[in-house]
Each structure stands twice: as C-alpha cells, then as structure tokens.
Amino acid sequence: MYVKSRSFWATRTSAWALAAGMVVLSASCAGADDGKRAYHIEARSTASALNEYARQSGVAIMFDYSEAAKTTAPAVNGNFTRAEALAFLLANTRFVVASESDSAIYLKVSERQASAIGDAAVEEPTEVVVTGTRIQDAYPTSPVHVVSRKDIERSGYSQTGDLIRSLPQTFAGGQNPGMMQSPIDTNNNTFNASTINLRGLGTDANLVLVNGHRLAAVGPYGGSDITGIPLSALARVEIVTDGASALYGSDAVAGVANFIIRKDYDGAEIGARLGAATQGGDFEQNYTLLIGRVGERGHALVHLDYSNQDEILTQDRKVTANAGPYNTLMRPIERKSVFLNGGYRLTSRIELSVDALVNAHKSGSTIQYTRTGTPYLGFNDVRNYMLAPGLDVRLGGDWSLKADVTVSRGAGSYGYAPLGGVGYTDYYRSLLKSGEVSATGTLLTLPSGPVKLAVGAGYRDEDYRRVTPAVDHFRRKVSFAYAEALIPVVAPSENRTGLNRLDLTVASRVEDYDRYDLTSTYKYGFRYHPVPDLAIRGSIGTSFKAPGLSELASPVNALLYSAQTMGSASSGVAMLLVGGNVDLKPERAKTWTIGADWSPEAWSGARLSVSRFRIDYTDRVLAPVTPYTQALSNPVYAPFVTLAPTPAQQADAIAISRRLSNYSGQVYDPNTLVALADNRKLNVSRQEIEGTDFSFRAPVDIGDQTLEVFVNATCLDIVQVTVEGMPERTLTGTVFNPPKTRARGGATWSVGTFTTTAIVNYVAGSRDTFVTPNGDVGSWTTVDLTLVWRPEGTRALSDVDISLSIQNALDRDPPYAYGPALTQEGIAFDSANTSAIGRYVALSLKKRF
C-alpha cells in the first residue's frame, strides 16, 4: 500500500486552500455594468470582436455569425458606455441594433453599405488563437502554430493524420501508418493508428484535444488516435509547441494539439475522392457527408466519413524488392467515423454544447523478417469514441463559467500468427472519464487595463486493461486545480514607439494522483509589443508526465533473436526481455521559449514568426537498450546485458515473462545462449531538446491575381544520456529519429476560378548508426501539387469544387539506409522520415447545397 508523507498532506492542504481562495476572490470581483467601463478589444474579425464585447460588457449579443466573419473590427481601448463601444465595432459592418434590453442586444443586417474607411479595412477574418491560454480571447505567450481551413483545403490530403505528419514540428515515427519494424521500442506501428509525435519525444508526451476535450490513448505505447477526426469538418488546428502542463496537466510536455471543429457551417456538402500510387497499390476511396445548421439560438453539425485504401507490398517497389515476398509496405485499411457537434442557447446567458466522435478502423499485414524466414500474418482492429457535453454560463460583468464532462475510450486488438501456425491476439482498452469546472473574467482593472483571471478544478479517472489472454489492469485517479492570470503592465498606445504594450502571464497547476505525491507545475510568460505590429514573447515553466498506464501494466515478454541481430559478431541465439514496470515514477521537464511574431501593417496578411526553445527532460521512461540491435556491440549497454547466462538465470527470466517468442530462426538451447539483455522500461534517461522554429506567410497581389507564399521549418537537436555516467548520444539526425532540419514551403496562385498550390518538402540527411562504420543517408526532397477548380456561372457545376492533388509529384524514392534492413531484411530505408509509396495522385469532388 502506498502511504503519502506528512509533508505531502501539508503541501496538499495549502495548495488546495490557495486554489479555493482564488476562486472565492474571483467570484467576489464579478461586478455589474454601471455606465462607462474600460474596454480592451484588439483588432480582429467582427465576429470575434463582438464575442469579446459581450464578455467585457456583461451583456449577451445575438448576431449573424457568417455576416460578422466577413469584416474586421477596429481596436477599442478606453472607457466607453456599452453603446459607444458597440458603435465603434459596427462601423465597418451592415449591422444595426434591432432591439436591446439590460441583458441582451439583438443585431440585424441592414442594406446600408460599409463606409469608405471600412471598405479599405476589410480583409480575411483573423483566426483567434485560444489554445495555449485558459483566458478567453487572450494571446498566449507560447508559440502556437495554426493550420487554418485554407491550409487544410490546399494541402491535398484527405486524412487528418497525413496533414499532421506533414508539419515540420512533428515526427512520423511511433504508431503511424507506413512505419515498418524498428529496433527502437516506441517506433513500431502496432494498430496502424495515426498519432501525434511533437518534436519526436514520443506519442505519449503530447496532449491531443478535440474542441478542448481530451482523447483517450490507444495501444501499448500511449498516444491518442486521430484517425477519426474529420478533416473536412475542421475549422483549424492549433498546436502549442511548448510545455503546457501548468495549463493542461500531464502529457503536455512537448505541447498540445487542439482540433477545432467548425461551428459556423450552414448547409450541406458531399465529397468523394479516388486516388492511387502510380507505381501501383494504395488505391483509395473516400466519401464524406457534412451537414451543418446555424440558427439564432444555436448550431449543429454532423460529419460522416468512410474510406478504404488497398495495400502496397514490398515486391511492388524497386527499393524494397529484395525483401521477403510476404511483406506489407503499406497496410490496407478501412475507416469509418461519425462526428457530432452542437450548441444551443437556453437563455441569453446559458448555452449547452456537445461533441461526440465514434471511429473504427481495421487493417491487416504480413511480415517476413528474412527472405527465407517464417511469414507472420497480422491484423488489427480499433474502435474509439468520445462524448463530451458542456455547459457555458455568462455571469455578471465579463465573467463566464464553464462545466465539461468527457468520456473517451481507445480500444483495439492486434495479433500475429505464423503462416500455417497458431499465433496470439492482444486486446487493449483505455477508458478516460473526466469532469472540470472553470471560470474566467476580469479580476480587477488597473490603469494599464483589466487583470484577467482563469481558475478551474476537476477530476479524472483513467483505466487501462490488456487481455493476452491473461488480464493486466491498472487504474488511477487524479484531482486537479489551476489558475492563470493575465496582467497588463503597459496599456496599448500607438504614441509610445518602443513601448506600445506589455503583458505578463502566470499560471500554476496542482495535481493529486492517488499513487504519487502532490505535484505542482508553473509557467511564467510575457508578451511585449515595441510597436503594434511586432510581438516579442517568451515563457518559462515546468511540465509533468505521469507514467503511461500501459507502461505500468504491460507484462514482461522474452524474445529470442539471432545474436548477430542483437549486435554480436558471432552466431548463436540471444534473449531480450521487454515489458513494463509497475515501479515507474513520473517524468519531469523544464522548458523555455523566446520568439517574435511580426505582422506588418503595411503588408496586410503577412506574418513572420521565429521561436527558439529548449526542454530539459528528466526521468524519462524508456527501454534502456535502444536500439536493441546494438545490445551486444555497444559497450554503453553493458550494465543491462548478461553474457553467457546460466540456465537458471534464463529460467528466472522466462518465469517472469508472459510469453516466450522465437524470432531467431534457430532452435533455443539454454546451454548455448549467447546473452541475455534486460530491456524492460525504466526511469533511466535525461534528454536535452533545443531548436528553432521559423514560419513565414505573405500574399502578393499581381493585378487581379493573388500569389501567397509560405514556409514552415524546424531545426532540432536532441541529446540523450541513457544512464548517468554514460556518454551523451545525439539522437537527431540518425536513422529512426527526428531529422536535424525539416522544412515545408511553397506558394498558392489564384487566377479566376483556379487555385494552384505547389509545396516543397525537405528532410535533411542523417547518419545510419546501425552499421559500423556509420553510414551517410541522403536528404529527401519531394514536391506536392494541388489544383482546385471552383466553376462559376454554370448551373450544373455551381457550388462545386474539383481538385487534383499529387503527392511526391517527381516520384522520388527514399534514400538508401542499410541499418533498417538489419531488423527486416530488404527494407533499406528510414520509414520514420521517408516513404516508399512514390507518386500518389487523387481526384476529389465536393458539392455544396
């Protein structure tokens, strides 16, 4: 039984008392409207500005969202009556006040045109970033990368996972389609799921949200399956590339990805897509139905998605033709998903909402480790769901209260069987239940502006079960509380060049696990504007990650490989122990970022962003002998290796193992075993991660045509010390690890009814550390093309989009790397960073009603 220390209870009492005190204080500061008040609303889309006006004035406001999204409202800063502030915001619109009361204002659309000044200011509505801060409509001090609806449409992708893996800030290793067998424990595609792996720190080191709700993990390596998140229903994706545990809790070490579903879609859309690889295989059928309705009191959306993709065999590609004939290069997969989203205003102050997702996909594979070895037939079946009802209440002043409940499950099965033999099937289920109550609003008003506060508390129940057929079960409960404050130090003023604005933020979170001592994390940040169109931001904080339930509950298995596969110069058989560890302790990290965002007023729509970051990650849970192919050749793994183990030592290892599997192709003889390597999970390592993100986007008008250029790039360094006293090892720039440099850039050219996008993807070369001496692996550059035609003036083709997308248009093969072939013969390329699919062509048709 785990007993908590006296100091723990003292810390817990004071921490919860502090959190409760902040809630009471914030509630007492919620005031009513008494004439003139301070308004601080930044220039943004009119729709967003009106929502912020409603919060600051303490009055509900009803308006046509689609009409408000067409224009941009000016900034409003100063003391005004609510009528004066509203007049400023509506100056650039066709809205007029239809009726109003003390608690609500109703707007209607007039036939009057915007003023000449307003016409000049009209531009595409700005996406308001909400991820990275708990304070409504505040701008975070952490770097946030936004994938807009326009980016999604021009990407040429049909699946959310493909879109995310194309971003330089992510890594395609781990549980992701196309990932082949790897000697790195976490880089194995068990369920053929799509997961997010920010910075390459692992699929379990970043948090995945859908409209702010957590998704449960799936499989033995953690990470949420994003396969069923509907791409055509997304408004945008917001990715915080900074530690965010102080705001969102455990798992947010590398960052947070929040998938925001469209709430303003009104109409219906059907879509169909057919695609295939020009070298053969991977034929895709994808069909979607999107229906949305926006009314005066609410909105509703339903999205249905079905897709089916054929397999690619290794014998279908020249680069893998030397592999065994029973090998799947890309697994066939059938996907089905349903997503529901809705919101309804019961009164002018109370709104109900719900998000629901159901996703299922299944696929199969064949694996042959050597050309003459035994083929294994594999399958996997995944079924996930999420249900998240919520309640929003507008309180006095600009305060609002939110209550959410989330129930999410990630479940699946996978199994392998030798051809003609008896195999095994493992079943997994992760169940997440959580509830949270939060409030946000103005705590007090300083001469420099309003001090905003967000407070919240909640409870989470996590349950993991694995059936093999024995049952492994682990459950834990956690309660938490957090607070975040935005403190304006210098009020916005265009008359102070060099000191236009300065805001500070502070956030703290306490989490009480039923197994660990109370833990706390913090985050401090600043956002400084020397001039209105330049923001310099920075943050420093701590992050926390509890061990994955699968890491705690996974059984130990004994695997037999040829000694040469594990790095020995001599022949024979070696044993490798793999599995979890119930005694794992939490991981921790310290993070900092510094960066700048420039949106020049003279170049409307242009944006330049640069960020420098560092993560000091300690007590990492890893399999210590990684890769296991160097277990017997690299002296740094000597503490985990027993040479010539006795039959008794082998018997002890087998006794604690659930399963003994022989992949050596030889007969197991305890009297001749070469070595025994213990690769069970441990808190063994520290990692130092640092790098630079760069992004730029700008429109260029060429007569009546528009050219938009963009680039997104990341430079990354990850250094690891597996066990203290061992030498440092650089992970980045080596096979099966993130590259040192990755970039994606291009241009979109719009002419009349045609829009053409060309994108260049670059992955830097690497070192093949699986061979001695190490080999060089070349860089990989590919080109993607997307052509969209939106015909006008034709009744039969009205509201139709016809698009042609070509991925890897130049049909570039992946660069040669011999090391991966040591694990799976003939697969001589780095499947974590490159692909052997080749050119892929797809034709899509969408019709709106």
Crossing angle of the two packed helices 82-90 and 46-57, in degrees rounded to 10 = 180
Give the E-state strand segments of 368-500 in sequence order.
376-394, 400-418, 424-446, 449-467, 471-490
Quickly state the pLDDT bin for 87 (edges 50, 70, 90). Answer: confident
By the 8 A CB rule, do 88 and 71 touch?
no
**Mean pLDDT throughout 91-117?**
66
Mean of pLDDT values over 575-583: 92
Whole-angstrom distance, CA of residue 372 vs CA of residue 374: 7
Structural element, H or E, at residue 553 = helix 549-553
| CA nearest neighbour of 388 among 196, 211, 129 | 211
Give the position of tokens 């909400």.
130
pLDDT, average across residues 780-807: 89
pLDDT at 794: 67
Phi/psi for 789 (5° steps) reads: -120, 120
Helices (H) and strands (E) in the chain, counts: 10, 44
DSSP secondary structure code for residue 325 in this structure:
S
Under 8 Å between Cβ of 77 and 41? yes
pLDDT(33) > 50: no
> What would the mean pLDDT of 545-552 be, rounded to a whole number?
90
Q: What is the mean pLDDT of the segment spanning 89-117?
A: 67
Tokens matching residue 303: 């999205």
pLDDT bin (cut points 50, 70, 90) of residue 3 is: very low
CA 373 to CA 223: how far, in whole Å? 32
CATH of segment(s) 31-121: 3.55.50.30
pLDDT at residue 334, as a whole number: 96
Residue 476 has pLDDT above 90, yes or no: yes
Average pLDDT, the chain: 88
Sign of CA dihedral 10, 12, 15, 17: negative
Read off the pLDDT of residues 620-644 as tens digits, 9 standing for 90 and up: 998 899 888 889 998 888 999 999 9
Residue 68 in contact with residue 46, Cβ under 8 Å?
Answer: yes
**Is residue 116 scored above 80 in pLDDT?**
no
Could you please report the per-residue DSSP string of 213-237? EEPPB-STT--B--TTS-GGGEEEE
Closest CA to 490 of 478, 477, 503: 503
pLDDT single digits (tens) 416-438: 898 888 888 889 999 999 999 99
Residue range 170-197: average pLDDT?
A: 87
Local confidence band at 62 (pLDDT 50, 70, 90 cut-offs): confident
Has residue 764 got a pLDDT over 80? Answer: yes
pLDDT at 125 over 80: no
Q: What is the pLDDT of residue 793?
A: 66
Domain ranges of the chain: 31-121, 144-633+678-848
- In this structure, what token pair is assigned to residue 214? 């957590």
- Distance, in Å, from the CA atom of 666 to the CA atom of 354, rounded to the nearest integer, reads 56
- CATH node for 144-633+678-848: 2.40.170.20
Phi, psi of 6 (to 5 degrees): -65, -40
For residue 724, the 8-state DSSP code is T
Q: Is a pLDDT exceeding 70 seen at residue 80? A: yes
**Given pLDDT bands bounded at 50, 70 and 90, which one contains residue 293?**
very high
Q: Binning pLDDT at 50, 70 and 90, where does residue 66 land?
A: low
Q: Assess whether pLDDT exceeds 70 at residue 10.
A: no
Intrachain domains 31-121 and 144-633+678-848 with the same fold: no
pLDDT tier for residue 128 given thresholds of 50, 70 and 90: very low
Question: Is a pLDDT exceeding 60 seen at residue 516?
Answer: yes
Please compute the mean of the pLDDT values over residues 368-376 and round it to a whole number. Answer: 89
Q: 38: pLDDT confidence band, cut at 50, 70 and 90? A: confident
pLDDT at 17 over 50: no
Distance CA 554, CA 470 (A): 11
